[in-house]
Structure 1
C-alpha cells in the first residue's frame, strides 16, 4: 500500500530548507564582521570590512584542515585566528566570541596577557591597523568544526599595543 501526503512532504521540505538556510545565515560574511566590529567599537577602534581575497585564502586553508580539524596556523601572509570545536554546529559568532572573551585576560597598561592566560586572539580582533578580514569554516571529517579568520594587514606585533 502506498501512502502519499503532499502537505507532510511540503512541510518536511520547508523545514529542511529552513535548517540549511539557518546554518548558512549564521556563517555569512556579516556574521563574522559584526561581532568583530562590536569588539572593536568597544575600545574605540574603527571597523573591519570583508575582503573576498582574504576570505578565499581563509576558506582554502579551512578546507585543508578538514581531514584533521587540528589547530595549526597556516603560516600565511595574514594575521590569523583559528577555532575548532566538536559536539555541536559551531558558528561564526561562536568563534569570534571565543576570541573576544580573552579581553578579560588582556591588560592594556602592561600590554600583556594575565599570567598563564592567552589573549592574542583578542588583540588580533581589535588590532587598530587590521582593516579587512576574511574567514572560512568547514565541517571536518571527524564531525568537528574548524573556523579561521585572517586579518589584513596582520597585527600582534611584539611591543605594540593593539589600540
Structure 2
C-alpha cells in the first residue's frame, strides 16, 4: 500500500539536477493553466533563482518543516510533493495541488480540509516560481523512511496564504493586473511586446490514519496508486 501525504512545509539530501527547459515549461504552463481558470490573475514567470532554492531544498531528502526564520526561505511560498512511484509527472503534481479547490469555499474564504497548496497556486500576488526534483534514496518523512522516492519542490515569490486574505479577487478577468502587466492572454495578465507574449514560453528571471491540525496543517491518507506530499511555506499574518 502506498500513502498519500499533504502537509504544509519541508527538507530533503544529496544530489538533484537542474530542470530541462521542457520541464520548466511543463510546470510553468501547468500553473498558468490552472490560474487562468480564476479571474484577475497574472501569469507566473519562471525564476532560476527560486529553482536553485528548490534544488537545495530537495537535496536534503528529509521531510520536516523549516524554521520560519530561515534566511533563505523566509518570505517565500513553497509547495512540495513526493511519490514512491518513480515517474516524473510535474503536471500531475501541480494538478494534485490545484485539486484541493474542492475543499475551498471562496465566498467565505474557508477550507474544509487541506487547501493551502491550491491557494498558493492561485494566489494573485505571487508573481514568480521555480521548481526542482530529486530521486531520494532514502526519503525521510517524519516517522516514515521510504527506500526510494521522487521529491519535488516549488518556491513562490511573493508568498501566498496570508491569514484572512482571499487568494484572488473575483471580477472581470485582467481588470486588476499588477504593475508591468500590460495585456490579457487566455484570461491571465501578461507582459506583451510586439510579436511576443509572456505565456507562450517559460520566461526566466535571474533576479494510514487521518489527522489534521490548524496553522501548520498536516493530513495523511492511504492510496493504492500514488504517494504525494504537498507543502506550503508562507509568512502568515495572525
Name the TM-score class by shorter chain: 0.7 to 0.9
The answer for the alignment partner of 2:151 in structure 1 is 146
Q: For residues 73 and 32 of structure 1, what CA distance do their matches in structure 2 show?
A: 24
CA, structure 1 residues 92+33, in 2 after alignment: closer, same or farther (shift >3 Å)? same
Q: Contact (CA 8 Å) 2:26, 2:91: kept in 1 or not?
A: yes
Shift of 1:25: 6.2
The answer for the alignment partner of 2:24 in structure 1 is 29
Alignment of 1:1-163 (within 5 A): 28-44=23-39, 45-65=41-61, 68=62, 70=63, 72-75=64-67, 76-77=73-74, 78-114=76-112, 117-141=113-137, 142-163=147-168
SS at match of 1:42: coil
Per-residue deviation, residues 104-150 of structure 1 (Å, max 9, x unmatched): 11100111112xx1000000000000000001100010221110111
The answer for the alignment partner of 1:19 in structure 2 is none
Shift of 1:73: 3.9
Aligned CA RMSD, in angstroms, stands at 1.7
Note the residue ranges of structure 1 that are not aligned, 5 or more in a row. 1-23
Q: For residues 43 and 98 of structure 1, what CA distance do their matches in structure 2 show?
A: 17
The total of aligned residue pairs comes to: 134
CA, structure 1 residues 101+135, in 2 after alignment: closer, same or farther (shift >3 Å)? same
Q: For residues 91 and 85 of structure 2, what CA distance do their matches in structure 1 show?
A: 16
Using the size of structure 1 for normalisation, the TM-score is 0.76
CA, structure 1 residues 100+150, in 2 after alignment: closer, same or farther (shift >3 Å)? same
Using the size of structure 2 for normalisation, the TM-score is 0.53
Q: Which has more strand, going by share of residues? A: 2
The answer for the alignment partner of 1:18 in structure 2 is none
Structure 1 segments, 4+ long, off by >3 Å, are 24-27
SS at match of 1:57: helix
SS at match of 1:55: helix
Which structure has the larger Rg? 1
The answer for the alignment partner of 2:227 in structure 1 is none
